[in-house]
């Protein structure tokens, strides 16, 4: 069986910053908008391992992070830069694997032409070194003939490690891990499992099929098979590299508002920005969704499939404003909560005709 490797960058955004400022190597660095700025309604995007010692994690509210780690060094996020570096990582990985499937900005699955654990281990060590030397970035690598096990192994290897799991060791490797280590089992599902007495993957392996079906629905059988060390075809295969399904922009307001005019203005700007992004990728959209997050943090959305695909900002803008107006009017008739965040999303993509050539020429 050929091995699959997962390469997962460690504290990615922080590492991108530290390679430009090596003096911060072992400092408690946090990427996020510092809590001193008046509009600091945000969360930590990435925390260095030194900062994690203080109990700071990514996705933690910045105020809470600042309390836990007052000496933290805050660096404002530069997402375009992290995107560019991600491209360099992919290019480098492509020279070392049969196929590279990017899974997120800091993670990729690779198909290897190797069938034994020792050569895979050596391969992983050389790739890790290459990433460190050429790009100055630390990574963790997991390997297994089963895709999902390779992913779990890369998590287990963090930070800076390599974990290769031969197929016959799969069950023993998974057994002691918390159920939450399985991708797809999040906080809600983990809590339900916990209450039913399933804490580790090993316990899931011994659970009855009926009990697991009740707790996990249609995932039950594949989770059960994984827990017993024999992943299903679907979980074992390398994920496919399909094009994007949707693109969206989200903006959290500096202050909650009930002002429809303010929200419409915001959507006008967002429609312009989003249509520009789609044009760069040569995509036409046929569906639009507006989502509002209310002050109580719940969300409501309104969307529409268009009769035909469109490009440019005009349709995106007028439809977004109509959908948002619907949402606001309904809210006014009911609870009248203020708006905290506005999201605009476009999807159901079709390739753009005609102009694509021009874009390719411009890129060349």
Assess contact for 200 and 175: CB atoms under 8 A.
yes
The CA angle 192-194-195, to the nearest 5 degrees, is 65
Secondary structure (3-state) at 48: coil
- Using rule CB under 7 A, residue 357 touches DNA: no
Q: How many helices (H) and strands (E) in the chain?
A: 15, 13
Near DNA by CB under 7 A: residue from 55, 76, 160, 244: 244
Other beta carbons less than 10 A from residue 33's beta carbon = 19
Near DNA by CB under 7 A: residue from 304, 322, 338, 359: 304
Tokens of 89: 């990582």
Residue closer to DNA by CB (options 35, 114) is 35
- Using rule CB under 7 A, residue 301 touches DNA: yes
Q: Give least dist CB 155 to DNA, A.
A: 7
Phi-psi region of 287 (alpha: psi -120 to 50; beta: other; left: phi over 0): beta
Can you state the angle between helices 220-227 and 209-216, rounded to 10 degrees? 120
107 is catalytic: yes
- Using rule CB under 7 A, residue 45 touches DNA: yes
Tokens of 286: 């046929």
- Among the listed ranges 17-25, 89-97, 179-187, 331-339, the one in contact with DNA (CB under 7 A) is 179-187
Q: Give least dist CB 137 to DNA, A.
A: 14
Catalytic one of 107, 311, 317, 319 = 107
Near DNA by CB under 7 A: residue from 22, 38, 217, 354: 217
Cis peptide before 159 (omega within 30 of 0): yes
Instruction: State residue 85 phi and psi, 5-degree precision.
Output: -65, -35
- Among the listed ranges 40-48, 113-121, 134-142, 167-175, the one in contact with DNA (CB under 7 A) is 40-48
Near DNA by CB under 7 A: residue from 252, 257, 318, 325: 252
Per CB under 7 A, contacts with DNA among 184-213 are: 184-190
- Using rule CB under 7 A, residue 178 touches DNA: no
Assess contact for 155 and 6: CB atoms under 8 A.
no
Task: Compute the Cα dihedral for 270, 39, 253, 249 and give only its sign.
Answer: positive
The DSSP symbol for 158 reads: T
Per CB under 7 A, contacts with DNA among 140-169 are: 155
- Using rule CB under 7 A, residue 37 touches DNA: no
Which residues carry out catalysis? Answer: 107
Q: Footprint of DNA on this chain (CB under 7 A)?
A: 12, 40-43, 45, 58-59, 61-64, 103-107, 155, 183-190, 217-218, 242, 244-252, 287, 289, 296-305, 340-341, 345, 347
């Amino acid at each position: 069986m050929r091995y699959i490797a997962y390469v997962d960058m460690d504290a990615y955004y922080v590492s991108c910053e530290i390679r430009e400022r090596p003096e911060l190597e072992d400092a408690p660095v946090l990427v996020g908008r510092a809590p001193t700025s008046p509009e600091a309604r945000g969360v930590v995007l990435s925390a260095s391992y030194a900062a994690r010692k203080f109990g700071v994690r990514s996705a933690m509210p910045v105020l809470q992070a600042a309390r836990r780690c007052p000496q933290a060094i805050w660096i404002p996020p530069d997402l375009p830069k992290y995107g560019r570096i991600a491209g360099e990582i992919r290019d480098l990985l492509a020279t070392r694997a049969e196929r590279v499937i990017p899974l997120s900005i800091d993670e990729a699955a690779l198909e290897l032409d190797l069938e034994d654990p020792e050569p895979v281990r050596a391969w992983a060590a050389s790739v890790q070194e290459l990433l460190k030397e050429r790009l100055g970035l630390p990574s963790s690598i997991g390997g297994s003939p089963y895709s999902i096990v390779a992913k779990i192994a890369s998590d287990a290897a963090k930070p800076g490690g390599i974990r290769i799991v031969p197929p016959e060791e799969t069950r023993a490797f998974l057994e002691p891990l918390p159920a939450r280590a399985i991708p797809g089992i999040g906080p809600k599902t983990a809590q339900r499992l916990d209450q039913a007495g399933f804490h580790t993957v090993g316990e899931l392996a011994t659970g009855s099929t009926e009990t697991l079906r009740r707790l996990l629905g249609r995932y039950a059988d594949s989770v059960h098979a994984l827990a017993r060390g024999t992943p299903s075809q679907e979980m074992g295969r390398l994920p496919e590299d399909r094009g994007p399904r949707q693109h969206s922009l989200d903006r959290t307001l500096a202050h909650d508002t009930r002002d429809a005019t303010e929200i419409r203005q915001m959507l006008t700007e967002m429609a312009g920005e989003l249509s520009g992004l789609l044009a760069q990728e040569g995509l036409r959209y046929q569906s639009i969704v507006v989502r509002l997050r209310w002050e109580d943090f719940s969300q409501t959305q309104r969307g529409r499939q268009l009769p035909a695909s469109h490009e440019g900002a005009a349709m995106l803008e007028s439809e977004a404003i109509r959908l948002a107006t619907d949402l606001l009017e309904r809210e006014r008739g009911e609870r009248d909560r203020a708006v905290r965040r506005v999201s605009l999303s476009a999807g159901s993509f079709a390739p753009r005709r005609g102009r694509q050539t021009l874009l390719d020429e411009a890129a060349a």
